[in-house]
């Protein structure tokens, strides 16, 4: 018999206990930086050095952190379930923990791409992207990040995946950013939806959601053990 499919939607909170700042919590990144100055195509046009430095710092930090208990619990869930992760995060902690199926909605920090042809995507060696680093067409490389105002190309694929879920788990996202926040709406009617987040998240658009008001580490480990124990 084929395994039940669990679609997991993750946000910055799943990596918080690894030491990566979230965006909108108090002390979060968007308190320290202005989105319009570092995370938009206009910012890139205005000040490439500043945008590169912002993402260089994020990338440098990524080499200093490790996956946490929540990332590892999702790997363990694969023992009995077909687990598909859709993440808003640009870190690679799900992959480093060992998750087999990870879709990145908002890009990946360790990748860079051509600024004239978005299909030319490269793994960056080391953490530092510099002025003068170019693609094979000779244009400056930019962070492989979906900035505010840019289309989220992975959404149709992600929505299709959500429509095949038997169970959905949402972890550590304020559900402020669309279209990602709307993906849960594509899960089939009756699909159980769990949301793990220590804060009060606006879930009016998720009828019947089961709220687990805990940090990702403890909340995910407990839920994963429960789901594993439900099966022989
Ligand atoms: P946010 O910073 O908006 O939300 C983080 C969520 O994580 C909040 O609901 C927190 O309560 C929760 N949280 C904090 N610590 C946690 C912990 N230890 N365990 C579990 N949850 C915890 O981050 P996102 O919702 O991921 O996009 O933000 C979505 C997008 O906005 C990001 O992908 C990024 C950002 O701007 C781009 O940069 C394109």
Catalytic-residue membership of 106: yes
- Using the atom order of ligand 1, give the atom closest to the CA of residue 105: 33
Longest dimension (CA), the chain: 58
Coil, strand or helix at 212: strand
Q: Which residues contact 31 (CB under 8 A, 6 or more apart)?
A: none
- pLDDT value at position 224? 98
- pLDDT value at position 123? 97
Is pTM beyond 0.95? Reply is yes
- pLDDT value at position 128? 97
- pLDDT value at position 117? 95
- pLDDT value at position 210? 97
Residues 124 and 219 in one domain: no
Residues 200 and 227 in one domain: yes
- pLDDT value at position 99? 98
**Residues whose beta carbon lies within 6 Å of some atom of ligand 1:** 11-13, 16-17, 22-25, 28, 39, 88, 106, 146, 172-174, 176-177, 197-199, 201, 215-216
Domain that holds residue 11: 1-19+67-106+153-232
Residues 165 and 135 in one domain: no
Catalytic residue among 71, 94, 106, 144: 106
Q: How many domains does the chain have?
A: 2
Residues 114 and 25 in one domain: yes
16-48 per-residue burial string, b: 16 or more CB within 10 A, e: under 16: bbbebbbbebeeebeeeeeeeebbbeebbeeee
Residues 231 and 116 in one domain: no
Q: What is the CATH number of the domain that holds 76?
A: 3.40.50.1220
Give phi and psi for 99, each to the nearest 5.
-65, 140
State in Å: Cα 11 to ligand 1 middle.
Answer: 5
- pLDDT value at position 61? 95
Residues 129 and 91 in one domain: no
- pLDDT value at position 26? 87
Residues 115 and 216 in one domain: no
Blockwise average pLDDT, block size 10, the chain, 232 residues: 95 98 91 94 97 96 97 98 98 98 98 96 97 96 97 97 98 96 97 98 92 98 98 94
């Amino acid at each position: 018999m084929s395994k039940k499919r669990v679609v997991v939607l993750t946000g910055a909170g799943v990596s918080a206990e690894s030491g990566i700042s979230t965006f909108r919590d108090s002390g979060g990144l968007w308190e320290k930086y202005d989105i319009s100055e570092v995370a938009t195509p206009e910012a890139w046009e205005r000040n490439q050095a500043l945008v590169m430095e912002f993402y260089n710092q994020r990338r440098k930090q990524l080499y200093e952190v490790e996956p946490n208990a929540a990332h590892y619990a999702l790997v363990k869930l694969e023992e009995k379930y077909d687990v598909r992760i859709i993440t808003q995060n640009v870190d690679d902690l799900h992959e480093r923990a060992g998750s087999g199926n990870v879709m990145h909605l908002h890009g990946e920090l360790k990748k860079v791409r051509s600024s004239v042809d978005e299909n030319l995507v490269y793994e960056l060696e080391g953490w530092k992207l510099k002025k003068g680093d170019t693609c094979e067409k000779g244009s400056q490389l930019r962070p492989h990040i979906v900035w505010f105002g840019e289309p989220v190309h992975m959404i149709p694929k992600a929505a299709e995946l959500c429509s095949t879920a038997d169970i959905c788990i949402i972890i550590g996202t304020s559900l402020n950013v669309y279209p990602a926040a709307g993906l849960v709406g594509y899960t089939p009617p009756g699909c159980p939806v769990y949301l793990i987040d220590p804060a009060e998240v606006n879930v009016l658009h998720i009828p019947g959601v089961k709220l687990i008001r805990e940090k990702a580490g403890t909340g995910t480990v407990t839920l994963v053990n429960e789901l594993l124990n439900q099966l022989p």
